[in-house]
Structure 1
Amino acid sequence: MESVGKGMKVSPLEKKKEGRMKSGFWLIVIGAALWGADPLFRIILLKENMTATQITLIEHIILFIIMMPVLWKHRSELQGLKLRHIGALLFLSWGGSAIATIMFTRGLSSGDLNTVILLQKLQPLFAILMAKLLLKERLPKHFSWLLIIALAGTYLLTFGFAFPFGNISNFTQVGSLFALIAAALWGGSTVMGRLMVGQMQPVTVTSLRFILALPLLIGITINQGDPWLVATDAGTLTAVSINLLAQALLPGLLSIFIYYKGLTTTKASVATLAELSFPMVSVLINWIVFNQVISIAQAFGFVLIWVVLFIISRNSST
């Protein structure tokens, strides 16, 4: 294909392709931003004496009921799947949807929250490594520097200008290890998702991600044998039910569907930077819900990340 230089006309086909890439990038930004509300739902449910596995199981039961008819409608897409596609689907469902969600939820309940959030910023490193190894992706120009700037922005969002480690043991606690496992699995899921949206429609990938995870979650829940502490009064039960439903549909189903839709035209290595919209939404939620005013350092980190997102979106076709 002939390169387009200064003063040269861009064909309508090239313009259309570039537009799809840019819109796909911003769809991932929106989908990841919806994940920013997820910890809010989980923390509320943890306060109701529900375990991380129980929360994740109920969430997937709700999504199973919703997505099973969708999968049945698109069942023809399951034909001709190769072994690598089955492996990718199992990684997405068992690793990214089941185990990673449990690990992150347990991290929120047993570890330092700032440390757990910071460790999630390692997702791009895992995703970039797997994208280069499995998808043979060529990174955009100056990608390494943009990644460093984006990670610096997430650092400022989490800790400001202060050095966070009063004691290095914060990063060796059980909650931190849970968060690290979640970061690795979610980073890998970005790559596996990119592989699968080239094989089937985003709605089908979304359905399989949640449906295939359910048997594993049932087995883990039974094996753990934790008691179910169900609220007895109608008010609390209603509030918990609404919370579970909202969590499953908003940061769960809707965000993943939008995310996979954007992933159809976006490299996994680029998508992982778009996912950094998550911490920005988390900061806004802390400000609005918990009255935690955004500091100058956090505002600066916010700007850094959005500058990187803008530059990457402008060059996502390279």
Structure 2
Amino acid sequence: MQIKNKIFVGALAVVISALLWSLDGTFLRPHLASLPPSFVVFLEHSLGFVILLPFLFIYKFELKNITKKQWLTIFWVALFGGALGTTFFTKALFLTGFVDVSVVILLQKFQPIFAILLSAIILRERFPAKFYIYAFLALIGGYFVTFKDPTSINFGNATTMMAIFSLLAAFSWGSSTTFGKYSLKNINYGLLSALRFGFTIIIMLIPAIKYFSTLSSIEPNVWKTLAIIVFTSGAVAMYLYYFGLKKIPASLATLCELAWPVSAVIFDYFFNNNILSITQITGATLLIISVTLATRLNKTQTISGIVLPGANNGEKVGARTANLDVALAKDLAKGLYSCKVSLEGTFYRGLIYYGFNSLTNKDCLEIHILEFNDDLYGKNITATTERYLRFPKKFKSVEKLSEQIKKDLSQSFSE
């Protein structure tokens, strides 16, 4: 029950933060159009940092636990998530003239795609073929969301520039989500929020300093809007988001974040009287569904079952495997994964393969436990996928299969 409550509270926090961000883009941020985007970002983070400053003192003892790698990731989160992402997003909103504001927010659904692709580049991960299909469909959806008339495009107009800045924001925020989850490993979410805002102020000081002379001329209504942003979509929403992110899996967080684009369309209608065209609604639907399906492919899968008798081909190819019922892999994309194996209360590293078996000429589900040679028949085994390593392959000979298995094992031992 406690776990369910924890997940519910975490999911609710992410949904609330998503709703606040939606309110920001459709209602609050338009009131800041008189200021340069970089100055807006500097001011909102400066005010937000004041609110989050107590966390630096309350959790200062955790600062010494932050590793050099974590400091780098926190800086990355501040640079891309705080400085660049928010600046690009604000610029994109201003370019719309606050017509179809929800389009900018809908294009933020590319964030998971960028996050996954970034992890592929940095961690050299591979993904099931379906991922690239879904990513392509998402691009098509994004195209139709952006242009009300898809047949008439001027690459120099404001709409195109809005789309470019929106996608840059999506990339920036997507990358910061990837590193943000890592940064939360051993520090408080309030402390991370404070550090993110603090670093963002330092970064944005360079482009914002030339506007300091205009501080006295900023109208009271603008300051009021900035204050509201701080206590809603700014510092408070960021705190809620990291609070929720620490309590729920990334896959669930992605689903909860769907509250952002959906509510944006609704808010944009009520606040700005903007309605998406049929083409844009179709594109938005395709975009959201494609990104959701692509994200689901990247989540971990747990498979548990009784080890079945096999064909005893392990000795031939140089790796003994535990055979499981193929039906257990119904939700698993075909391919080879690194995994964590649980056997009789002990955890091991291993490989799990689901796909065509060149020796039996049919699909199989096999688990190889690294540095383990005991008999597994009849035992219950549980494996949780970690990284997708490669696509399934067909081999014309046992020798070729054996060579590939040696490569797979070598890659696993080197991780």
TM > 0.5 fold call: yes
Residues 1:128 and 1:103: Cα distance change in structure 2 (over 3 Å):
same
Offset at 1:149?
Answer: 8.8
Answering whether residue 47 of structure 2 is matched by residue 62 of structure 1, we say yes
Offset at 1:256?
Answer: 1.1
Return the index of the structure with the highest Cα Rg: 2
* Counterpart mapping for 1:1-318 below 5 A: 16-17=2-3, 20-21=6-7, 23-39=9-25, 40-46=27-33, 49-110=34-95, 114=100, 116-131=104-119, 163=150, 166-169=153-156, 173-222=160-209, 227-228=214-215, 230-231=217-218, 236-237=219-220, 239-268=221-250, 270-292=252-274, 318=301
Distance in 1 (CA, whole Å) between partners of 2:78 and 2:265 is 28
Distance in 2 (CA, whole Å) between partners of 1:34 and 1:213 is 20
Where 2:233 maps in the other structure, the secondary structure is helix
Whichever residue aligns with residue 128 of structure 1, its letter is I
Pairwise CA RMSD? 4.0
Q: How many residues align?
A: 295
Confirm or deny: 8 A CA contact 1:127 1:269 kept in the other structure.
no
Distance in 1 (CA, whole Å) between partners of 2:38 and 2:276 is 32
| Higher helix proportion (structure 1 or 2) | 1
Unaligned runs of 5+ in 2: 302-415
Where 2:66 maps in the other structure, the secondary structure is coil
Distance in 2 (CA, whole Å) between partners of 1:223 and 1:294 is 38
Distance in 2 (CA, whole Å) between partners of 1:32 and 1:288 is 18
Distance in 1 (CA, whole Å) between partners of 2:153 and 2:161 is 17
Q: Deviations over 1:166-185 (max 9, x none)?
A: 34555995444332221111
Distance in 2 (CA, whole Å) between partners of 1:262 and 1:148 is 30
Offset at 1:17?
Answer: 3.9
Of residues 251-260 and 24-33 in structure 1, the stretch that sits farther from structure 2 once superposed is 24-33
| Higher strand proportion (structure 1 or 2) | 2
Distance in 1 (CA, whole Å) between partners of 2:123 and 2:277 is 39
In the superposition, the TM-score normalised over structure 1's length comes to 0.73
Offset at 1:98?
Answer: 1.5
Offset at 1:268?
Answer: 3.5
Confirm or deny: 8 A CA contact 1:63 1:248 kept in the other structure.
yes
